[in-house]
Every structure is written in structure tokens, then in C-alpha cells.
């Protein structure tokens, strides 16, 4: 248990170290309110006494009931909550979001990872949905919202606000955009420039540049007339934070701020349904109000410093005065903007014409009439962090020059391509793939002409009998799906693997009645011809064939280092005892399969990806074998064909049973199983401690999505170094995504190749100095 805690801490401290230099301006919350029908869970990020400058999540249930098991060493950058859920975001070069679910009954003690990918710059939740904005592309992505999972017409870059069936936010030039199906809100968006926006379940309000409120949708009650800097809206009620820090509430009859809170100044507010919470300005205590429980005792955290906002690299207006104890030195917490003057537009930054272009996710305009205090803070903050940053960058570059290191590697793990995500835009990719019309086995066998390209040699049966000593047992090296495999050396010195079809298979092939023998023969040759043209350094080369008297024999390049299966499960000594070597094997195999899926015309579905079909040569290169061999089956026997198509037990795509349709995503599933095998060292189907058969997917994936992959890593490989752990856990997430039940949620082989390349890169270029930054107790 101690080891576990240490390792988890270790992983997250790594995340934390990376977070210092990459954090863009973000709109995240440090308070979350979650509800069940009779309980309220208030969570806050509080300044950690154990881990300086980290914020640990602390939750309290009112009345006592919901119990979230929390690890105080995990540092979150933002949290959101809603009906029966709480989600926390950790950010480094990637963002990872995990969610807990609970009900009146109790809590599911396991959290679930719902996102890993490029940084999320904004995150907000309504009662049921969670949405975020992805850095770089500014794509809007939502979770727990089947009808609206991601929108490509969102231009929102800041102030994301999620309601019941709508989401609003600000565009770079501060106009409002609302999307979703709740037309009372989406059709009534006010025109103008706004500084902040908030969403209740059925309405939204925004603060215009002069501080006044504009509300639309189904709002209850009269909006207050005053000057505001921030808002929080619930169901039929709302509260606003005035420029002077005092709070005003409005809404359904009987709702107002409890009178003994009216003198307190607040830094920021949060709301969900009937509950409102605010962080007070002087010592960052947390107060909540809205129902009898809180109104009679509004103090949730007193004397415990609640982090007053997300730590970020720069502020659109002013930073808080005393953020240093919450964030690292380069980071700051921003105050809510108060735009100067009434009825004026925000000042235009000198020299850049109208407001700066909408490239960055942060709000763009800069204020002009700062108070002296703010200017001082800003100047000190900017100069300080700039100097600090330059010194760090110079030191780092100097170091890199001498060592060669990964300046952006942790970013590269995800910056291009689609990150593996549950139920997200991978479905769009699948739509493009569509049903696979060009699958090899559906192809009429005569669509290639008989012309021989000259690639393929025809071997005589006599020669093959001679070199294998009549297919003797000494030459036999294995039994594949196609038949037996023999090792032999040809006269010209080439080492070959000879695959001989089982007699039964060939006789059943010969015994068909629908096709004439010549048709079958020419089909066989056509298909071999096609296979021989598939040329890729990660595919085993087909040299030739022999067809004689119902004998069907294929002659392949011999791979003298055996199968991946043997390396993982049989051999006493193996070359695959480093994480780098294992990720390299996965990448090689992925490239071979990607070639079959993406570059072969027509596309080839391998249908039997498994560790015993991945072969290794002496240089540690891996190649895929046995592709296309399913074609050798009898064509008229549909049931045999589909049986054959399903592949090997333990690697089979479960969706294939349901839909009876084979797609490239079936290979992706099998490949995911193989990656789990590489990581855990367990066979696809293996026996547990009690001798009961167990599937590697069922056993390993739950650890991966819990961020506890270190508990199931193959003990034959030394524990990952601090830099390998990020790569290894990333490969784990990739494998988990490959083995999701729905094919459309699985990544494509191209995405897998891209991700494995980044993981391998991260392993290969390990700067040694970084280890001294972490307590590398592995």
C-alpha cells in the first residue's frame, strides 16, 4: 500500500513538474458542487500543507453521506460537479480528466478516466453535462451528452458556461456564442461585447463591459441593477459578485443572500441548482448558502486556504496579490476583470490596431486604467516570471545542446492526430472509413489479371520436400492457422519459413462443387500475386509458393528471432526486457498493420493479429506475418470463412459477433490485446491465482483507467524510469482505447502509430537531470 501511494505520488509529481511551463490562460474552477436527491457534496482545491504549491482535492458531504476516496498527493488544476458526479482535471503537457459517480446509495469507489489528450483550457459543467475546450484547435468537446459530444462550429475560446441543454461562451472578440438544443437560450443571445458569462440550467447571464447584467432564457425574478465582475447561476436563482466584492442574489421567491454574509467580500462564486458557494477574500475561507443546512451554518472551510482560482501563466487583467503560496513561481491566479468606465469599449492595445487576433485561448483586450497596485503586481509578475523563464530556457537549451533532449516531447505525446478518447470524434473518422467496401475477402477473385508481375517464385514440391527432409519434425517450427510451418535453407543460402496447408483444408478446398478447379487455381494465384506485392519493412516477405497435386505451400522470409509470443511467454532469456524495446515492437507491428489498412489497395484486414503472428529478426525489428492468409480458405464455404475470420480466442473483436461485420477496427481490437500482453506479460487468456481462466482485457484495463498501471506491469522488465512511466502509461491508455467495445470509439492504426511514435520518442530521449527533480524511488 505504501508503495502504491508512493508511486501514485511520483506519477503526479511528474505531471506537476511539467505543468510549470505549459499552462495557458484557462477558465477552470477550484470549487465544485455536486448533488444527489438528498445530499450536497462541496469540493474545493485546497492549498496542500504536505505538498507545497500543490492543490489537493477535499470534499465534504452535507449531510454526511457521500464519501469520495481521495489521494491528497494528487494535484488537480480544476474541478467540476453536477448531479451525481464529480470530475477533476490534472494538466501537464496533456490533460487527464477523471470522474467519480455517486448516488444516494453510495459512491462507486473507482474513478474513471474520461479524457486524456491535449490540454483543456476551459472546463465547466451543468447539472448533467461536462464540456471543455481543447487547446490549439479550440474544439468544444462535451461528455455525458450523447446528442452533443463535440461541435465543429464552436468558436468559443473562453468563459465556457454549460447549462442543461446548451453551452455558451465568449468568442475571442468577446461576443457571445451559444450552442445546443435549448432554443430559449440559443435563439436569444444578446449582441455586444461582454466580459464574463454564466449559465443556469435554463438561462444565462453575461456581464457587459460597463458591468451591467444581460440575462436571457427562462430567468425567474428581476435581474439586479449594479456593476458586476462575476456571476454564478443555479436553477431559478442567481448570485452576482459586485465590483466591490459583495454578493447580490436574486431569483425565485424567498431566495436571497443570508444576511450575515452580506458584509463579506468574495473573490469568486460557484453555483449548482439551489446551492451557491463563494471563496472569501481575506483568508480564502469557503462559504456556501442556498438551503437550510448551509444558511444556518455557511462556513465550509475556515482557516483552510481554498485555492481562489486556477493557476495560469498570464492574466487578461490583474493577478491576485498573493498567489505565490498556491502556484509555482511562474504561475499566477487571475482576478476577475473589471473594465474601466461606463459605456466604453475595452482599451485597444497600443500598436496592434483593434484587439489582438484570436489566436490564443485567453480573453484578448488589455485594460488601461489599472490601479497602481495592479500595475506593480503585473510588472513584478511579468518581469519576474519572464526572467525566471528565460534563465530556465537558456539553461535547458544549453543542456540540450550537449545532451540532446526532448524539449517538447511531453507535448508531442498528443499534439497531432486524434488523441484516443472515449466516444469522441473518433466516430467521425469511422464515418470516413465507413463500411469497408474494399475488403479483400469480398473481392471477386478474378479482378486481378493473371499477368505475373514476376515478384513471386514458383517452387517445386520436390525442392521443398528435399530442403525440409520430407516435412520432417526436426524442421517443423510451429503450427499456424494455415497449417504447419517448417524452417529450411534453400540452395542459394536463403533461410525460409515454409507454410504447408493442412491436407484437410486443401481437400475441402478441392472438394467444392460450385467452382471449377481452374477458377480456384487462378484465384489462389491471383491472391498470392496480390500478397506478394504488399511490400513493407514491417511485413514478412512472401517469396513464393508451390501448388502441386492439392499441396499448397507458401515460402516466406525466415525471421530468426522467433515470435513475440515466445519472447513474452516462453523464452527464459529475451531481448524484450526494456520498455523501450517493447514499445518499439508495438510500433513496428502497428506500422505493418497500418500499411495493410491504409496503403494496400484494396485494404487488407489481417483478421488474426496476435503475439504469435508478430515475428522478430536479429536486429530487434518486428514484422507482421500471416496477413491475407485467410484467403486460402475455401471460398464457397461461408460458415468456415466467417469462423476463420473471427481470429483467435482472446484476441477477437467482441463487436464482430454482434454486427457480423469485419472492419479494420477488429484488427485494432486485437492489436490492443497484444499491447496489453506486452505491458502486463499476461497471455490474452490466462489463469488467475485460483486457476480460473481470465481475459487480459478484463483484468488489465481497469488498472489502466484508474491510473494504476504500475500494479500490472510485467515484472520481467525493470520498473519504468521517471520518463518511461509517462510513455508506458500513455501506451496503456492507448491499449485501453483500442479494446473499447464499440469499434467506432477505437483509434485508427494511423493514430496508433502516431501515438506509439511519441511514446517511443519520450522513452528514447531521457534527459538524466530530470530524474534528480523527482524522488525516483522506483
Complex with ligand NAG: residue 260 or 329, whichever CB lies closer: 260
- The least CB distance from residue 452 to ligand NAG, in Å, is 44
Rounded distance between C-alpha atoms, residue 295 and residue 249, angstroms = 14
Asked if 577 and 571 count as a contact pair (C-beta separation under 8 A), the reply is no
Of 207 and 568, the one with the shorter C-beta distance to ligand NAG is: 207
Residue showing cell 476577475: 336
By the criterion CB under 6 A, which residues form the site for ligand NAG?
22, 24, 38-39, 56, 58, 63, 65, 70, 72, 93, 103-105, 118-119, 135-136, 151-153, 173, 184, 192-193, 208, 210, 212, 218, 258, 260, 296, 298-299, 304, 342-343, 345, 350, 354-355, 411
Q: Please, what is the minimum distance in Å from the beta carbon of residue 324 to ligand NAG?
A: 21
Judged by beta carbon, residue 14 or residue 464, the one nearer ligand NAG is: 14
Residues 6+ apart with CB under 8 A from 398: none
CB of 659 to ligand NAG, least distance (A): 24
Residue 534 cell numbers, joined: 504488399
Query: Which CB, 38 or 402, lies closer to ligand NAG?
Result: 38
**Annotated binding residue 499:** yes
Residue among 165, 409, 414, 608 flagged as catalytic? 608
Q: What are the beta bridge partners of residue 280?
A: 266
Identify whether the C-beta of residue 326 lies closer than 8 Å to the C-beta of residue 333: yes
Q: Which of 106, 771, 708 is nearest to 405 (CA)?
A: 771
Min dist CB 183 to ligand NAG, Å, is 7
- Which one, 192 or 718, has the nearer CB to ligand NAG? 192
Nearer to ligand NAG by C-beta: 578 or 761? Answer: 761
Please give the Cα distance from 119 to 362 (Å, whole number): 14
How far apart are the C-alpha atoms of 457 and 350, rounded to whole Å? Answer: 74
Q: How far is the CB of 200 from ligand NAG (least distance, A)?
A: 12
Q: Tell me how far, at minimum, the Cβ of 153 lies from ligand NAG, in Å.
A: 5
35 and 424 in contact (C-beta within 8 Å)? no
> What is the SS3 assignment for 426?
helix
317: helix, strand or coil: coil
Rg (CA), the chain: 31
One-letter-per-residue 3-state SS of 631-647: HHCCCCCHHHHHHHHCC
Distance of CA 504 to the CA centre of its chain: 47
Q: Which three cell numbers stand for residue 362?
A: 485567453
User: What distance in Å separates the CA atoms of residue 733 and residue 132, rounded to the nearest whole number?
Assistant: 20
- Active-site annotation holds for 226: no
For the range 771-774, what are the long-range contacts, defined as Cβ-Cβ under 8 Å and sequence gap of 24 or more?
771/721, 771/722, 771/723, 773/17, 774/10, 774/13, 774/14, 774/17, 774/722
Compare residues 364 and 580 and give the one whose CB is closer to ligand NAG: 364
- Torsion, Cα 313 319 325 327, to 10 degrees, reads -20
Catalytic residues, by residue number, are 608
Residues in binding site for ATP:
499
Binding-site entries? 499
Amino acid at each position: 500500500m505504501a508503495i502504491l501511494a508512493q508511486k501514485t505520488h511520483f506519477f503526479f509529481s511528474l505531471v506537476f513538474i511539467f505543468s510549470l511551463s505549459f499552462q495557458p490562460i484557462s477558465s477552470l474552477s477550484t470549487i465544485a458542487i455536486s448533488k444527489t436527491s438528498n445530499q450536497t457534496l462541496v469540493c474545493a482545491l485546497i492549498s496542500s500543507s504536505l505538498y507545497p504549491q500543490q492543490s489537493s482535492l477535499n470534499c465534504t458531504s452535507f449531510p454526511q453521506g457521500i464519501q469520495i476516496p481521495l489521494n491528497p498527493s494528487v494535484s488537480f488544476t480544476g474541478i467540476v460537479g453536477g448531479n451525481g458526479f464529480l470530475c477533476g482535471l490534472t494538466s501537464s503537457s496533456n490533460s487527464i480528466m477523471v470522474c467519480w459517480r455517486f448516488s444516494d446509495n453510495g459512491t462507486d469507489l473507482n474513478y474513471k478516466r474520461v479524457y486524456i489528450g491535449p490540454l483543456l483550457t476551459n472546463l465547466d459543467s451543468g447539472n448533467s453535462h461536462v464540456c471543455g475546450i481543447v487547446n490549439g484547435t479550440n474544439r468544444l468537446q462535451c461528455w455525458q451528452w450523447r446528442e452533443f459530444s463535440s461541435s465543429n462550429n464552436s468558436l468559443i475560446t473562453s468563459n465556457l458556461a454549460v447549462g442543461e441543454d446548451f453551452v455558451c461562451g465568449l468568442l475571442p472578440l468577446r461576443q457571445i456564442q451559444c450552442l445546443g438544443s435549448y432554443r430559449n437560450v440559443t435563439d436569444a443571445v444578446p449582441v455586444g461585447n461582454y466580459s464574463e458569462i454564466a449559465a443556469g440550467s435554463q438561462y444565462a447571464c453575461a456581464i457587459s463591459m460597463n458591468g451591467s447584467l444581460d440575462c436571457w432564457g427562462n430567468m425567474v425574478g428581476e435581474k439586479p441593477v449594479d456593476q458586476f465582475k462575476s456571476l454564478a447561476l443555479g436553477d431559478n436563482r442567481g448570485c452576482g459578485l459586485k465590483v466591490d466584492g459583495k454578493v447580490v442574489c436574486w431569483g425565485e421567491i424567498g431566495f436571497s443572500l443570508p444576511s450575515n454574509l452580506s458584509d463579506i467580500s468574495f473573490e469568486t462564486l460557484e453555483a449548482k441548482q439551489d446551492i451557491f458557494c463563494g471563496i472569501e477574500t481575506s483568508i480564502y475561507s469557503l462559504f456556501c448558502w442556498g438551503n437550510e443546512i448551509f444558511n444556518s451554518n455557511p462556513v465550509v472551510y475556515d482557516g483552510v486556504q481554498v485555492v481562489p482560482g486556477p493557476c495560469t501563466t498570464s492574466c487578461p487583467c490583474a493577478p491576485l496579490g498573493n498567489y505565490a503560496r498556491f502556484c509555482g513561481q511562474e504561475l499566477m491566479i487571475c482576478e476577475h476583470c473589471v473594465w474601466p468606465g461606463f459605456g466604453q469599449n475595452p482599451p485597444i492595445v497600443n500598436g496592434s490596431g483593434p484587439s489582438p487576433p484570436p489566436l490564443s485561448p485567453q480573453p484578448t483586450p488589455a485594460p488601461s486604467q489599472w490601479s497602481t497596485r495592479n500595475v506593480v503586481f503585473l510588472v513584478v509578475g511579468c518581469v519576474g516570471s519572464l526572467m525566471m523563464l528565460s534563465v530556465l530556457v537558456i539553461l535547458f537549451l544549453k543542456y540540450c545542446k550537449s545532451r540532446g533532449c526532448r524539449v517538447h516531447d511531453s507535448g508531442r505525446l498528443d499534439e497531432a492526430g486524434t488523441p484516443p478518447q472515449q466516444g469522441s470524434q473518433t466516430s467521425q473518422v469511422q464515418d470516413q472509413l465507413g463500411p469497408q467496401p474494399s475488403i479483400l475477402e469480398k473481392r471477386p477473385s478474378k479482378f486481378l489479371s493473371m499477368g505475373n508481375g514476376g515478384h513471386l517464385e514458383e517452387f517445386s514440391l520436390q525442392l521443398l520436400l528435399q530442403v525440409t527432409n520430407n516435412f520432417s519434425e526436426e524442421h517443423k517450427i510451429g503450427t499456424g492457422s494455415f497449417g504447419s510451418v517448417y524452417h529450411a535453407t534453400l540452395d542459394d543460402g536463403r533461410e525460409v519459413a515454409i507454410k504447408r496447408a493442412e491436407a484437410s483444408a486443401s481437400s475441402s478446398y478441392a472438394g467444392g462443387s460450385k467452382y471449377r478447379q481452374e477458377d480456384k487455381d487462378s484465384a489462389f494465384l491471383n491472391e498470392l500475386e496480390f500478397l506478394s506485392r504488399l511490400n513493407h519493412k514491417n511485413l514478412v516477405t512472401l517469396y513464393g509458393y508451390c501448388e502441386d497435386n492439392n499441396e499448397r505451400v507458401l515460402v516466406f522470409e525466415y525471421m530468426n528471432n522467433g515470435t513475440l509470443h515466445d519472447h513474452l511467454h516462453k523464452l527464459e532469456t529475451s531481448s524484450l526486457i526494456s520498455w523501450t524495446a517493447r514499445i518499439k515492437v508495438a510500433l513496428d507491428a502497428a506500422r505493418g498493420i497500418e500499411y495493410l489498412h491504409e496503403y494496400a489497395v484494396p485494404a487488407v484486414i489481417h483478421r488474426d493479429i496476435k503475439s504469435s503472428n508478430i515475428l522478430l529478426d536479429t536486429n530487434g525489428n518486428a514484422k507482421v506475418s500471416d496477413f491475407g492468409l485467410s484467403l486460402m480458405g475455401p471460398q464457397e464455404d461461408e460458415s468456415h470463412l466467417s469462423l476463420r475470420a473471427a481470429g483467435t480466442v482472446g484476441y477477437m473483436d467482441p463487436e464482430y459477433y454482434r454486427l457480423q461485420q469485419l472492419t479494420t477496427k477488429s484488427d485494432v481490437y486485437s492489436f490492443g490485446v497484444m499491447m496489453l500482453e506486452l505491458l502486463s506479460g499476461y497471455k490474452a487468456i490466462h489463469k488467475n491465482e485460483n486457476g480460473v481462466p481470465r481475459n487480459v482485457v478484463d483484468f488489465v484495463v481497469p488498472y489502466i483507467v484508474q491510473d494504476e498501471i504500475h500494479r500490472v506491469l510485467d515484472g520481467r522488465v525493470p520498473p519504468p524510469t521517471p520518463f518511461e512511466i509517462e510513455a508506458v502509461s500513455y501506451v496503456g491508455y492507448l491499449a485501453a482505447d483500442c479494446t473499447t467495445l464499440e469499434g467506432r470509439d477505437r483509434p485508427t492504426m494511423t493514430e496508433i502509430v502516431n501515438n506509439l511514435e511519441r511514446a517511443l520518442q519520450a522513452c528514447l530521449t531521457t534527459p538524466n537531470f530530470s530524474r534528480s527533480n523527482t524522488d525516483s524511488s522506483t
